[in-house]
Homo-oligomer: A and B are copies of this chain.
Amino acid sequence: MSDTGESGEFALIDWIRRQPAPRPAGSWTRLGIGDDCAILGLKPDDASPLPRELLVTTDMLMDGRHFHLDRDGAEAVGYKAMGVNLSDIAAMAGVPRAAVVAVALPRRQADVVARGLHAGLRALADRHGVELVGGDTNAWDGPLVIAVTVLGEATDRGAVRRSGARPGDAILVTGALGGSLHSGRHLRPEPRIAEALLLHRTATIHAMIDLSDGLSSDLSHILEESGGLGAVLDAGAIPVHDDARRLAPDDSLAALEHALHDGEDFELCLTLPPGDAENLCAPGASPRVYRIGEIAETPGLLLRRADGRLIPVEPRGFDHLRGEAGQ
């Protein structure tokens, strides 16, 4: 979801992660900056048989970057703001429980916008059993900004991280990709919470991430966090969304590029042992998943074309709101 222009979000996050930080006595932190959620263990010394991991994630959306208030309306903004956060909880195979919301409202229409946001937030929150427990409301002369923080819990199988991929793993995605920003689909994310929980119960997921920046970029996070692995994607196996095809009706390669790089699909990308993948991809299996490639020992992201040729893929998210390639 994020970007900082200039030297880029990832350079900045790397810098933050490299800063020395004292670890306070009784630290809650089991996993800090760099995954879809932080993982907090509230009783690090607890001998209880129930692992209880708290998940925390935050995402901020700004008018003109992630939505256009005038065009999309406040309710869509609230819906998206909740959705992108719930998607981060899904990426850890967690259960979302509570949310707090901070907003900077455009002064001119503060009340109307606030009520619209609330309706959109609640529509998605209610459906997923998430309670709005607090917030901070402000008005100013600037554009609408909304920051949502969601708390959730890992199941007793634990949270799934980005960092567990292994060479030979199959790579799966939960749905078709590409064209989300052009079609407006990015405003109606359907966080794959139920799907993630079901997959986590029935398979040994090694690594998982939600597809917000784009498949090439997000899969690369898994590869980096898993110790510098590589991946080979099968061009013909990547599910291309109709929204992407509509962007390139006569050019299937261009449509595939959208599926690889567009972002804001909010599907999940996961890696697991090939045997598990076969079971999940059996005819009639639920949820529907797509096996798109495998994890390799050699670093780098490759695309295997129909003719068998391997082509390097440059990880990049395409920024449709700016109309240019993001960093």
Q: Does A59 contact B (CB under 8 A)?
A: yes
Contact status of A142 and B143, CB under 8 A, knowing A5-B107, A52-B42, A149-B100: yes
List residues of chain B with CB within 8 A of the CB of A12. Answer: 110-111, 114, 137
Q: Say yes or no: A58 contacts B101, CB within 8 Å.
A: yes
Q: Does A279 contact B (CB under 8 A)?
A: no
Q: Does A313 contact B (CB under 8 A)?
A: no
- Chain A contributes a number of interface residues (CB within 8 A of B) equal to 76
CB distance from A78 to the nearest CB of B (A): 12
Residue in A15, A118, A147 with the greatest tally of chain B CB atoms within 10 Å: A147
CB distance from A109 to the nearest CB of B (A): 8
Kindly identify, within residues 114 to 155 of chain A, every residue whose CB is under 8 Å from any CB belonging to chain B. 114-115, 118, 122, 126, 129-143, 145, 147, 149, 151, 153
Task: Provide the bound-state CA to CA distance between A14 and B19, in Å.
Answer: 42
Contact status of A134 and B19, CB under 8 A, knowing A4-B111, A38-B98, A149-B149: no
A residues adjacent to B (C-beta < 8 A): 1-7, 9, 12-13, 15-16, 19, 21-25, 27-29, 31-33, 37-38, 40, 42-43, 52, 54, 56-60, 62-65, 97-98, 100-105, 107, 110-111, 114-115, 118, 122, 126, 129-143, 145, 147, 149, 151, 153
Q: What 16 additional pairs, Cβ within 8 angstroms, besides A9-B137, A12-B110?
A: A2-B137, A3-B139, A15-B115, A24-B130, A24-B131, A25-B129, A27-B131, A29-B133, A38-B100, A38-B134, A42-B54, A54-B151, A60-B145, A147-B147, A147-B149, A149-B149
Q: Say yes or no: B2 contacts A64, CB within 8 Å.
A: no
